[in-house]
Amino acid sequence: MEKYIGKLLDNRYEILEVIGSGGMAVVYKARCHRLNRLVAVKILKDEFSQDADFRNRFHAESQAVAMLSHPNIVSVYDVSKSSETEYIVMELIDGMSLKEYMQKKGSLTWREALHFITQIMKALEHAHSRGIIHRDIKPHNVMVMRDGSVRVTDFGIAHLASKQNTLTQEALGSVHYISPEQAKGGKVDFRTDIYSAGVVLYEMLTGRLPFDGDSPVAVAIQHINSIPLRPREINPEIPEGLEEITLKAMCADINKRYPTATAMLDNLEEFRKDPQISFNYDMDLGTAGFSDNNAKSRTGLLNRGERFFEKKEKFKREEKIRDQSKRAGRVSILAGVAAVLAFILALTYFLWTFFFQDLFVAAPEITVPDLVGKMLDDVINNEKYKDFEIIQGKTQESDVYVEGTILEQVPLYGALVKKGATITVTVSSGSTVISMPDLVGKSWRQAQEDLKSALDGSILYSIETFYMISENETEGNVISTEPESGARLRNGANITVIISRGANITLVEVPDVVGMMQSQAVSALTERGLIVGSVTEVENDEEAGRVVFQSYAPGSEVEKGIVVDIRVSLGPPATPPPTQPPVTAPTETEDPEGSGAGNSVTVTIPLPNGSGPVYVEVWQEDTRIVAETFDKSRGAISVVVTGTGQQWLYTYCDGVKTYTTLVDFDNG
């Protein structure tokens, strides 16, 4: 895959270096030449990129995932096809995986585990609300940022991977977190992610996995037939309530698990408020095994697969003893033959029970396949589905799935029907589509009015603005847009607008100050002609006084005199930070000089998706004007700001910058 380094994909993304690799794809650091920013590009490996059917499914799945927008989910910027392969463009993460974090620290404190699992469940809650199941939740797919927040990655890709992987050595990384229904090849739903999240929480609390073995098959069998040790048996310091949450999420019986991510989040919030709480759940976890005879098996004791291999080793020892014996009579020979036959019978029973039974036992009915998410054209007249009559029923608009994608099916996946049965499918008609207006050459104020006139009331959309030097375009006018004029816009479209800064601007390169002590960072920035803005102290694993964040990327070219915000470590937290007390949001700001000069503008600030409390800070340049806790279900808040000229507004939600906008007080 080194062949991509140095290449320019779609005349836009320059591939710089490899930063990671998985079973299906390789991740590269790349530079977006259009927006002059660093991104991560995930490119399919050659063995998958040559499969047209797989590429089509990859593209459809990735487009659906690109609709996700949440602070705890890695942002997907673009999904594209080149002549050679499919690729996804994502935000470039500055951090490490949760797996690496745990390997570095060993078992975490229960407060750290609570902090991380809450964010993971918020990500799952958002994805599940959009109809997306991750299917491969594990510490390797959770990124820990420098500020302690997490990002869940590989949404949607796991769906495709699950259709490719077998329980081989390559699957060992995922099989430790696999749900019993996945291990048995059964139907999955949102509760599958909840089980895997429970395993992650178990590992964070105890420093060990609930099930382990010499092979993926052995581990998968334990998920089905074994009951894990309670976390408090490993670490008595774990609070009882948190243990109950962990074990309920890990119930082998899917119907005894949390029904939704929201339900688990509710319990986590109750526990956070009162760590002494006990939920009094019935923790008879049971098993998801093939027979009730294994309901009492337990990790540390031999399960069915382990008993078989123990018998095999016992047979070998007995053979050795018989060989050493001087008695070579007919009884010994018959005993050896009997032992061999017993071994063969045991092996046959094991293979039949766990692998081949379903292939040979005749059944009067057949199982309905999973058609949801597939393209109708790919299903109709496909030899794979020759035992069924597939007909199209109604069509339905969808903001997630492209036109022609199957949204629903009757009968449902997994149902037993007679050969030749009819499957009626509901097909996506796509979402409302309108054309992108031509904004190039217009003032930003006029461009906003044109966008509002063309799009408001038709679709939901978001705008991201960038300012660039231009010798050809008047300052304040639009240079270009993404998408371009005439492009088809769907609901949830992301629109990028490039605005001219004029030609007479001095640019300087931003130094890399992350890792420096605060005084060193201030000197480095001022030497380049940059202004040090807000200095925020945050809890971090770095030593106190060391810079852990800068608001502009190192190496980027910015206007001389621009304000650069930094965050400085307070040192590692002894305990999770307490919840910030609510502060009433002001309806208007006071003129700091008492002159009363300035115009008031109402700004609508979006909140993170989902429900539950979020602590919001809004800064007008270097002045904090809002510090309050809101419920995310509000969707947005309105803030009245006062000033003159143009000023930047920065919004932080739970310490993470989520929204930036430039307010023009003179032009409204």
Q: Which residues are catalytic?
A: 136
Q: What single-letter DSSP state applies at residue 665?
A: T
Tokens of 657: 């910058």
Can you tell me the distance from the alpha carbon of 367 to that of 413, in angstroms, rounded to the nearest whole number?
Answer: 8
Q: Is the link from the previous residue into 554 a cis peptide, with omega within 30 of 0? A: no
Can you tell me the distance from the alpha carbon of 363 to that of 428, in angstroms, rounded to the nearest whole number?
Answer: 34
Tokens of 167: 């329980």
Q: What are phi and psi of 301, to 5 degrees?
A: -100, 165
Give residue for tokens 């994502």. Answer: 90
Can you tell me the distance from the alpha carbon of 406 to that of 425, in angstroms, rounded to the nearest whole number?
Answer: 6
Q: In 3-state terms, the chain is what percent helix, strand and coil (to 5)?
A: 30, 25, 40
| Torsion sign across C-alpha atoms 276, 281, 285, 288 | negative
Can you tell me the distance from the alpha carbon of 418 to that of 335, in angstroms, rounded to the nearest whole number?
Answer: 49
Among 283, 286, 202, CA closest to 252: 286
H-run or E-run covering 420: none
Q: List the Cα angle 200/205/209 in 5-degree steps.
A: 55
Can you tell me the distance from the alpha carbon of 117 to that of 265, in angstroms, rounded to the nearest whole number?
Answer: 9
Tokens of 126: 């958002």
Output the DSSP codes for 500-552: E--S---EEEPP--TTSBHHHHHHHHHHTTPEEEEEEEE--SSPTTBEEEESS
Tokens of 129: 């609300």
Query: Residue 336: exposed, middle, or buried by beta-carbon count in 10 A (0-12, 13-18, 19+)?
Result: middle
68: three-class secondary structure by DSSP: coil
Taking residue 124's Cβ as centre, other Cβ atoms within 10 Å add up to 29
Q: List the Cα angle 529/533/537 in 5-degree steps.
A: 130
CA dihedral 222, 223, 229, 235 (to 10 degrees): 120
CB neighbour list of residue 169: distance below 8 Å, 6 or more residues apart: 215, 216
Residues paired with 105 in a beta bridge: none
Can you tell me the distance from the alpha carbon of 509 to that of 409, in angstroms, rounded to the nearest whole number?
Answer: 56
Amino acid making up residue 418: K
How big is the chain by its Cα radius of gyration, in Å? 29
Tokens of 152: 């869940």
